[in-house]
Structure 1
Amino acid sequence: MTSNPKLAVFLASPRGFCAGVDRAIQIVEKALARYGAPVYVRHEIVHNKHVVNRLKAMGAIFVKELDECPDDRPVVFSAHGVPKSVPATAEQRDLLYVDATCPLVSKVHIDAERHDKAGREIILIGHAGHPEVIGTMGQLEEGRMVLIETEADAEAFTPRDPDNLAYVTQTTLSVDDTSAIVEILKRRFPHMASPHKEDICYATTNRQGAVKAIGPKSDLVLVVGAPNSSNSRRLVEVATRAGAKASYLVEKADDIDWAWFENISSLGVSAGASAPEDLVEDLLAAVAERFDITVDTIEVAKEDVIFKLPRAVAEA
């Protein structure tokens, strides 16, 4: 009987669910417990179809816009945040709504409003079309915020007043990419106001730090996450930059292409902030069927952040 080849597995820690994602999922679960099914959810509560499908099975109905929601049922807004027009419309219709926006995203919204009230032109560093970016830009009147996506954008940007600028960022960006853009902006506009505290969330920073730690040790890195998850895609990029010979995003164990494993002796594993841990466990189990694995957890930070639930569901 042929024994399975040996494979060293480096498991990134922290990985998977962050406090904002955990809170958002709890909000939907507790809304269902308090108000009964169905509870409507505007957009995916978090970017993971396995989470979404589980909540659907419990009685959540996911919609794109509020006009798909009836007047007599509660609606939850996703963790990514929404433009101000969304709760305003809900209030006009007298809808019961629960805002599951991550508190760290809400902090960016508050910072943007503070800069706007001070009369500053605001730069948002982020990715066009991402729900969080749409929500952040929707906190202010159109034209009050300029989106910058790349270093080239930062070099080309022409402000109304170079001495009256501020910047905020999407919370799920690559730490390294964002710092490069900020450096260009600060060189060009030395008086630009910065966030009081870094906008990129602690969970994004920690997960990227853990992947940087496993990347150099790994012939291959697999990141469990959804293709529309910004923080998951950034982890794949970070792994490659850190020295992994190859890095791929997979939604689940079934997505693994076993050809990736040819001639490798080490595997790094992480998961995006909206990926449940059972998907990581399934992936490790699938690898263990084909290889004799040893698992070494590489921890770069401990996380103990907990965000309070909104009053509307806290008692459920």
Structure 2
Amino acid sequence: MTDRNTLTDRYIAAALHAVPAAERDDLERELRASIADAVDGRVEAGETPQAAERATLEDLGDPAHLAARYLDRPTFLLGPAYYFTWLRLLKMLLGIVLPIATTVIVAIDLLDGTPPQRIVGTIVTTVLTIGVHLTFWTTLVFVVLERSGAKTARPGGAGKDLRSWSLDMLPDVARRTTGLVELVGFVVVTILFVFGVIWQQQVGFVRDAAGDPVPFLRPELWRFWIPALFVLLAAAVAGAVARYRTGHRTGTLVLASVALNLVGWAATTTLLLRGELIDTRFFAELDLTPLSGSWTTTYQGVAVAIALSVLWTIGDDVVKWRREARTAG
């Protein structure tokens, strides 16, 4: 069986990553022919095939920049290595997050007896605010990735302080199971979640008679638990970045993910069942009562749902890791 994970395959896959599908076949054929001719010339000059292939690809330089030159596209805020992935992810996030957020806000306003004209204004404000945040944070993450990872090629004559691109940076074609969309989506959702936690405390959907915001989470949590949550989220983001850079799941990364999930689940469930997580004034202001007749019973049901979700996440991660390990082996 032909090895589809050679240096040339990995290089071409990296070069074609941001190229539109309609142009990939032509560019791949041109690249393969050019690389093959250069390798043959080096072999005829006395180099081994392996050394000739490596030297040829190193001479070509960073595949992202090579693709940009082939496509004759300028590199602005986001270069061709990330532009199309950024665009697809942004469209997906806007198509999912905006409708959900708008529905939630409308539902809360209706329950609160807000006049229809104010609801329309709230919808417009919400769509604009969330849309701007989604666009900003998604773009920011890609810009950071672009500046720190993709644009690492050092042109001839560049200073020695720039990080050089090398063939060792090429991801395996066959083994990469963690994509850029997955990474950026997770980072953006995490940022929005942190923003939501802060926003519900400072602004919120619900206000009391004095006009002060009534948070969903108890204010006492800011003394320790919410900062601790942010630390856990930062660790989760670091794990997602490490998984992306590795290209696949490893035992260490899966173990760290399991530990973070269990710690987060234990803390959340304990606070929830003790009645120390949610500020019941939030429900009181909305005139909401538990369907079961008791918030304790409702919290128990939520705790079960959280436990099932965490178990499913852990199980899915472990199963995929074992499957990838068997495939690699």
TM-score past 0.5 threshold? no
Structure with max Cα Rg: 2
TM-score category (smaller protein) = under 0.3
Q: TM-score when scaled to structure 2?
A: 0.25
Higher relative contact order (Cα pairs below 8 Å, separated by 6+ residues): 1
Q: Which has the higher helix share?
A: 2
Q: TM-score when scaled to structure 1?
A: 0.26
